[in-house]
């Protein structure tokens, strides 16, 4: 006879029929699933019921809390104010690389526990592992020590953080329940809250290269995560940012590291610099460091110095040459005109097929693989001008990458006005890369 306080079938039925799950039911089902009492097929049915019926804000907050309680919380003992950042994933999204040392250079502690890529979106750890000697796996003691000494750490999450989410994430991936806003929000926030930072800035991507294709979807997800943060005592802000076009001019692993270093040296594409500064200002505001000037920290070289210290602290050599591809294929423009659009999804899939990403978890990636975008929307292009460089160690992957890029570019025959043909800037909130800001 079972001694469990609930039966999984009753919890599934309650949500299937549109009911609200009781706090005790949520606590039990997450704990029982983690222990193996609730079977995979039962949690699959519950995930689909949640996908179809949804959860209200209080249910989602409780679900998040139960996933946090399934494991450990990172007990950070740091003198500096702590603040973290999370991106929902995009193409060319190397922002964590310059952002963490930049915010640390301004006085905050940034415990950035990151992940690996899957599909067309890149993973921060995959990028950093292109640096010779750099290691992702750190103990809790290592993390606290590095935060004290350097102010920033980017590493893999420890196994003890939110183990229920690890199981449920894999299950959602094979049951077509990934797109559920309550399940996405609770998955992200359970890991981030368990990391222990007092403040959190979310970069919610919108567009073809993002998981949220429309601003309405992104706004719903952003609001849900901000509410969860508030319910758990973590000051949270979300920025909705454009992912219709790849971010910057590099997509892949080593090529993105190189571009991040350019930004840290006071150069780099304007859109990457603008988004890095926008997120840095929000993070510093949540950390109470409102007098800090991230633009000055970039210009002075202090952020780059912090980057070098952060890489060395994890065994890497910031001065080492990054991996070079064995094969480079140049794609030329098929016509003359103004480049109107560059589809982020197509570019992301092409980089993935070149070896920059993986199809299944655990597969290796090519650190030299990726794409350099030699032009960006708004620029005038002559027919025959190089528009992409495809980098790979496996030339046989090029045809599949070219197929993904088919139709990724569109041109306008209109002449550029007022010398704007080579603009690479980032307009203000509502006009450019930052679309909206959601605060609690």
List residues with catalytic annotation: 86, 165, 172, 187, 191
> What are 328's strand-pairing partners?
391
| 152-156 vs 110-114, strand pairing mode | parallel
Count of Cβ atoms closer than 10 Å to residue 407 Cβ: 9
Nearest Cα residue to 252 out of 86, 359, 117, 386: 117
The conformation of residue 141, written as its DSSP 8-state character, comes to: H
Distance between first and last Cα of the chain? 46
Report helix angle 57-69 to 215-231, nearest 10.
60
Residue 291 contacts residue 270 (beta carbons within 8 Å): no
Query: How far apart, in whole angstroms, are the C-alpha atoms of residue 284 and residue 294?
Result: 9
What is the C-alpha to C-alpha distance for residues 24 and 38, in angstroms, rounded to an integer?
15
Burial class (CB in 10 A: 0-12, 13-18, 19+), 216: exposed
SS3 string of 394-407? CHHHHHHHHHHHCC
Q: Which residues pair with 380 in a beta bridge?
A: 338
Nearest to 242 by CA among 438, 437, 96, 435: 435
Phi-psi region of 130 (alpha: psi -120 to 50; beta: other; left: phi over 0): alpha
Residues in the chain: 440
- Residue 39: both structure tokens together: 């079977």
Contact between residue 152 and residue 100 where contact means Cβ atoms under 8 Å apart:
yes
């Amino acid at each position: 006879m079972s001694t469990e306080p609930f039966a999984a079938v009753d919890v599934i039925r309650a949500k299937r029929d549109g009911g609200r799950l009781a706090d005790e039911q949520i606590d039990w089902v997450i704990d029982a699933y983690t222990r193996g009492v609730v079977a995979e097929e039962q949690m699959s049915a519950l995930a689909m019921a949640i996908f179809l019926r949804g959860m209200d804000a209080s249910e989602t907050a409780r679900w998040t809390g139960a996933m946090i309680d399934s494991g450990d919380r990172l007990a950070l003992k740091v003198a500096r104010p702590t603040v973290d950042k999370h991106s929902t994933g995009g193409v060319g999204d190397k922002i964590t690389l310059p952002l963490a040392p930049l915010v640390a250079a301004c006085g905050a502690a940034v415990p950035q526990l990151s992940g690996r890529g899957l599909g067309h979106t890149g993973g921060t750890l995959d990028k950093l592992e292109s640096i010779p000697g750099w290691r992702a796996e750190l103990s809790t003691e290592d993390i606290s020590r590095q935060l004290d000494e350097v102010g920033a750490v980017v590493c893999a999450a420890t196994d003890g953080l939110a183990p229920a989410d690890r199981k449920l994430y894999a299950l959602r991936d094979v049951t077509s329940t990934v797109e559920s806003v309550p399940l996405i929000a609770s998955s992200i926030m359970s890991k981030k809250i368990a990391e222990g930072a007092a403040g959190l800035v979310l970069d919610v991507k919108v567009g073809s290269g993002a998981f949220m294709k429309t601003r309405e979807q992104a706004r719903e997800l952003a609001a849900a995560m901000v509410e969860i943060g508030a319910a758990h005592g973590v000051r949270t802000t979300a920025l909705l940012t454009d992912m219709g076009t790849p971010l910057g001019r590099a997509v892949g692993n080593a090529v993105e590291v190189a571009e991040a270093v350019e930004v840290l040296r006071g150069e780099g594409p304007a859109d990457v610099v603008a988004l890095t500064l926008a997120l840095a200002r929000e993070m510093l505001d949540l950390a109470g460091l409102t007098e800090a000037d991230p633009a000055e920290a970039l210009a002075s070289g202090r952020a780059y110095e912090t980057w070098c210290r952060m890489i060395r602290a994890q065994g890497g050599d910031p001065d080492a040459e990054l991996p070079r591809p064995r094969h480079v294929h140049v794609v030329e423009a098929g016509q003359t005109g103004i480049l109107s659009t560059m589809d982020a999804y197509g570019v992301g899939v092409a980089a993935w097929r070149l070896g920059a990403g993986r199809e299944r978890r655990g597969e290796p990636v090519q650190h030299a693989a990726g794409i350099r975008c030699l032009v960006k929307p708004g620029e005038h292009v002559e027919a025959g001008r190089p528009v992409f460089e495809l980098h790979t160690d496996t030339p046989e992957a090029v045809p599949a990458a070219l197929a993904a890029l088919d139709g990724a570019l569109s041109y306008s025959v209109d002449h550029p006005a007022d010398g704007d043909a080579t603009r690479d800037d980032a307009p203000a909130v509502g006009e450019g890369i930052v679309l909206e800001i959601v605060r609690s």
